Amino acid sequence: MSVKLQQIDECRWRIPREGAMRTDGLIFASRDMIGALEKEQALDQVRNVATLPGIVGPSIAMPDIHWGYGFPIGGVAAFDMDEGVVSPGGVGYDINCGVRLLRTELEVQEVRPRIERLANELYHNVPSGVGSHRKDLKLSVAEERKVLTDGAGWAVAHGFGREEDLDHIEEQGALRGADPLVVSERALERGRNQLGTLGSGNHFLEIDVVEEIHNPQAAQVLGLFPGQITVSIHTGSRGFGYQVCDDHLKMMLRAAGKYGIDLPDKQLCCAPLGSPEGKQYLSAMACAANFAFANRQLITSWVRESFEQVLGRAQSELRMSLIYDVCHNIAKIEEHAFGGRKRKLCVHRKGATRAYPPGHADTPALYRSVGQPVLIPGDMGRYSYVLVGTQGAFDETFGSSCHGAGRVLSRHAAKKLVRGQNVEAQLESQGIVIRAASRATVAEEIPEAYKDVTEVVGVVERAGIGKIVARLKPLAVIKG
């Protein structure tokens, strides 16, 4: 059945409720983006999510939407705590894949002559690639379980960072409700040697320069200025989170049958939020989310050390402070106003970012005058953006925005497109240094594999679900 689309305005499109759908679909996209989307299955996935029990409000897709497992990537859906469900497909395999942004007091002219040395040092200090692990970080089973409950706080307590870092991480770097006892031995085994590693695929560590300020007031609050050096870290829960997802997909498929949930796609397998299966998944998911928070915190510590070593300046002088750290793949219990009353909902964000407004209690105090920082990485050859959340996002999308540019080419298609080309040399001719564990990864992650992030964040801003603060340009990129 083809997807029916109705244009609401220049940035919004509706999939009207029909058949088994319990609500409408709502897509944020430009006309050009919709034209490309109509040729793929992501819109079918928006419609399928709208059939799940207890969904509140529309099944939402952000402008970086593309096909994913069960839910589309870029999908947002909220569920009633009494009648709704939780679905691993609405979180994804890489639980709490997320991004954090560090600011420095360094200016581009100080760093550019040392950019290759910095890239080499970061590549040496932060393990990357498939199956990467740190030989000098050995966790006992008991210590790993502490990571799963304490998240970034575990890393700070062990000397990897500062207490103030925790104030600038979503949920202060630890999701409540984590229970290591519901995690499989296989997941623990896979995660034990991967803490503090970047991984592969679209994960990266990037040195950027603030190229353009769009909102001077917000930029000042966030501590951003033109020509400034920043560092982005994009990674998640590695093999640990993958295994948690895989373990619970099997359980959720059985649960869907047990509770009589009719699935249009088995990848949407789910369980009622109040069921034993639903509660167990949320506890295991929180463990994986906390693993990811700790992972990014350790990498942050090694980034600070790398800058200190190459620039010969103390970390206190470099003032490498954390702007913010956001989750991309998560399901969280939050309070939102809907239907004229406040209610607790389970908000799934699959390849989507929380975007809370100015004044909200969960927006860090330092940023409460302008809104929660929203970090939108692009591709390794163009730009990334810093935005802030808005009241419009809180009212319309359960406080959510996009999480990146969104793929337009599969990994296979990307590699085929650049066969015989030297992608690294092309990027270095543009002043972008690349270090990667595999040339195949670089080929899969070419800029042409992604939408232009400038167009994506343009839709976000015009729709009022985010406000652009600054544009960043890559100088050095570390890939898995």
Q: Which residues are identified as catalytic?
A: 403
Look up residue 89 and give its amino acid.
G
Largest CA-CA distance found in the chain, in angstroms, rounded = 65
What are the helix (H) ranges across 400-452? 411-417, 423-429, 439-444
User: How far from chain centre, in Å, is Cα 177?
Assistant: 21
Cα–Cα distances (Å) from 479 to 100, 345, 443, 457, 473, in that order, read: 16, 36, 11, 24, 16
- Count of Cβ atoms closer than 10 Å to residue 389 Cβ: 28
Question: Residue written as tokens 């623990």?
Answer: 188
Distance CA 447, CA 435 (A): 16
Distance CA 146, CA 224 (A): 35
Distance CA 317, CA 167 (A): 21
- Strand-pairing partners, residue 281, are none
Contact 418, 443 (CB under 8 A): yes
Relative to beta strand 228-235, strand 341-350 is unpaired
Axis crossing angle, helix 238-258 with helix 276-311, rounded to the nearest 10: 170
H-helix or E-strand spanning residue 207: strand 204-213
Question: Residue written as tokens 């497909």?
Answer: 89
- Count of Cβ atoms closer than 10 Å to residue 443 Cβ: 20
